[in-house]
Amino acid sequence: MESLEKLHFTSTVWRPPYEAYSVLLQATVGCSHRRCRFCSLYGDLRFRMATAAEIDADLRIIAGWQPRARRVFLVGANPFVLSYGRLVRLVDRIRDFLPRVRSVGMFARVDDIARKSDAELRDLRARGVTGLSIGTETGDEATLRFMDKGTTAEETLRQCRRLEAAGIEYYVTYMTGLAGAGGGERAARATAALFNRLRPYVVSVVSLTLFPDAALWRDVAEGRFCEAPERERLEELRTFIDSLRIQTVLLADTRSNAVPLSGRLPGDRARLLRELDEALAGFDEPSYVAYRRSIDRL
C-alpha cells in the first residue's frame, strides 16, 4: 500500500474544526483572490487546480486507508471556484474510488457562488455538495472595501439566500478586530444584522491575528491601520452575540480567540454573555496582548 505521506498536500492544510472527521482531498492550491489585506494563510502560493492525475493518485491512497469514508472535504482556499462541470466530474470521480461517500464540503468565496446558476447549485446539492464554508469575515461595508475582500454584504446576502433555495448548507465566519480600533461596535452590529437575514448552520468567530507577510502588517507599521485593543475585541464579540437573533451554532474557540466560547443560539446566549462579562471584569490588556503576540501560527 502506498504511503499517506505521498498525498498531494501543498503547504499547510486548512480545514474547519467541524470537518475534523472528514476525508481531506486537495482540489485546488492557494487562493484565487489573493488580495485580502489581513490574510497570510497561503503565502506566495500561486493559485492552481489540482490535476486529474494528482486527484486520482490521492483517491487511490485514501481508498486503501478509508474505503468506508462517508464525507470528503476539498482542500484549498476556495475549491468552489471550480466550474460547475469540473465540480461534477470531481464528485463523480470521488465516488468512483469511494462509493460510500454521501457528501462533499469545501471552502467558498461569495463570488464563487455567484458564478453558478440556480440550476447548477440545485444539481450540485443533488450530487452531494452539502456544505460550504464561506469566509464572510464581516458585514461592515467600509471594512470589506478596505480589506479588499472583493465582495459586499449585499452580495453575501444574495448568494447565501441562493444556497438556501438550493438546499446547500453553509457556514459563515466573523472576524473580530477587523474593523480596527474604534470600529468594533459598528462591525458587530452590521454583521449581526446581515447574519440575522440568513440561516447559517454555523457561525465561526475568529479574531484578527497578523503576521509579517500580510499586507495589513505593513499598513499597521505605516500608520494606515490601527489594531483594535483586546478589550474592544471582547466587547465587540459581546455586542455581536447579543445582537444575533437566529438559531445557529456559534464557535469562537480557535487559537485566535483569547476567550474561547462555543454554544447554540439562542439557548446559550445568557451563558456566553456571562462568560464574556466575567472576562471583562478581570480584564488585563497587557496579558491579552502578550497572548496574541505569542501566537506563531493559526
Q: Are residues 175 and 242 in the same domain?
A: yes
Specify the amino acid at residue 157.
Answer: L
> Is residue 74, in this structure, part of any structural domain at all?
yes
Least confident of 1-10, 162-171, 260-269: 1-10
Of 77, 100, 123, the one marking the end of a domain is 123
Query: What pLDDT band is residue 150 in, cutting at 50, 70 and 90?
Result: very high
Task: Report the domain count for the chain.
Answer: 2
Supply the pLDDT for residue 80. Answer: 98
| pLDDT over threshold 50, residue 217 | yes
Could you tell me if 139 and 23 lie in one domain?
Answer: no
What b/e string do you get for 93-102 counting C-beta neighbours within 10 Å, with b at 16 or more?
ebbebbeebe
Mean pLDDT to the nearest integer, 269-283? 97
pLDDT at 105 over 80: yes
Domain termination site, one of 89, 123, 157: 123
Domain-located, residue 114: yes
pLDDT bin (cut points 50, 70, 90) of residue 12 is confident
| Assigned domain for 176 exists | yes
List the domain range (segments joined by +) for residue 48: 1-123
Residue-level pLDDT at 1? 41
In sequence order, the 6+-apart residues with CB closer than 8 A to the CB of 23 are 62, 66, 69, 71, 72, 73, 98, 101
pLDDT of 298: 84
In a domain, 70, yes or no: yes
Checking if the pLDDT of 2 tops 60, the result is: no
Residues 118 and 193 in one domain: no
pLDDT tier for residue 3 given thresholds of 50, 70 and 90 = very low
Q: Are residues 156 and 75 in the same domain?
A: no
Question: Is this model's pTM higher than 0.75 or not?
Answer: yes
Calculate mean pLDDT across residues 173-189: 98
Provide Rg for the chain, Cα atoms: 19
Mean pLDDT of 268-293: 97
Provide the pLDDT for residue 5. 58
Say if CB 238 and CB 276 are below 8 A apart.
Answer: yes
Predicted confidence (pLDDT) at residue 94 exceeds the cutoff of 90? yes
Quote the mean pLDDT of the chain: 96
Give which of 109, 108, 77, 79 is closest to 91, Cα–Cα.
79
Give 291-295 contacts, CB < 8 A, sequence gap 24+. 291/258, 292/207, 292/209, 292/230, 292/256, 292/258, 295/209, 295/255, 295/256
Answer whether 156's CB lies under 8 Å from 110's CB: yes
250/241 Cα distance (integer angstroms)? 9
58/156 same-domain check:
no
Q: How far apart are CA 232 and CA 181, in angstroms?
A: 8
Instruction: Check: CB of residue 298 under 8 Å from CB of residue 292.
Output: no
- The phi and psi torsions of 142 (rounded to 5 degrees) equal -60, -40
Least confident span in 5-14, 65-74, 126-135, 255-264: 5-14
Q: Which class for 188: exposed (0-12), middle (13-18), buried (19 or more C-beta within 10 A)?
A: buried
**Residues 21 and 151 placed together within one structural domain of the fold:** no
Question: How high is the pLDDT of residue 117?
Answer: 98
96 and 151 in a single domain? The answer is no
Q: Does residue 55 carry a pLDDT above 80?
A: yes
Instruction: Please state, for a pLDDT cut of 70, what percent of the chain lies above it.
Output: 98
pLDDT of residue 127: 98
Residue 218 has pLDDT above 70, yes or no: yes
Give me the CATH number covering residue 115: 3.30.750
Average of pLDDT values for 258-286? 97
| Residues 1, 91: Cα–Cα separation, whole Å | 24
Q: Which of 188, 202, 192 is nearest to 251 (CA)?
A: 202
Both 115 and 6 in one domain: the answer is yes
Q: Is residue 129 part of a domain?
A: no
Structure confidence at residue 59 (pLDDT): 97
Per-residue pLDDT, averaged over 204-218, amounts to 97
**Looking at the domain assignment, is residue 221 inside a domain?**
yes
> Does residue 157 share a domain with residue 65?
no
Same domain as 177, residue 292: yes
Is residue 130 in a domain? no
Q: Which of 81, 98, 123 is the last residue of a domain?
A: 123
Q: What is the pLDDT of residue 45?
A: 86
Cα dihedral 64/69/75/78 (nearest 10): 140
Specify whether 240 is located in the same domain as 271. Answer: yes
Q: Rounding to the nearest 10 degrees, give the CA dihedral for residues 125, 26, 40, 83.
A: -40
Is residue 174 located within the same domain as residue 297?
Answer: yes
Residue 89 lies inside a defined structural domain of this protein: yes
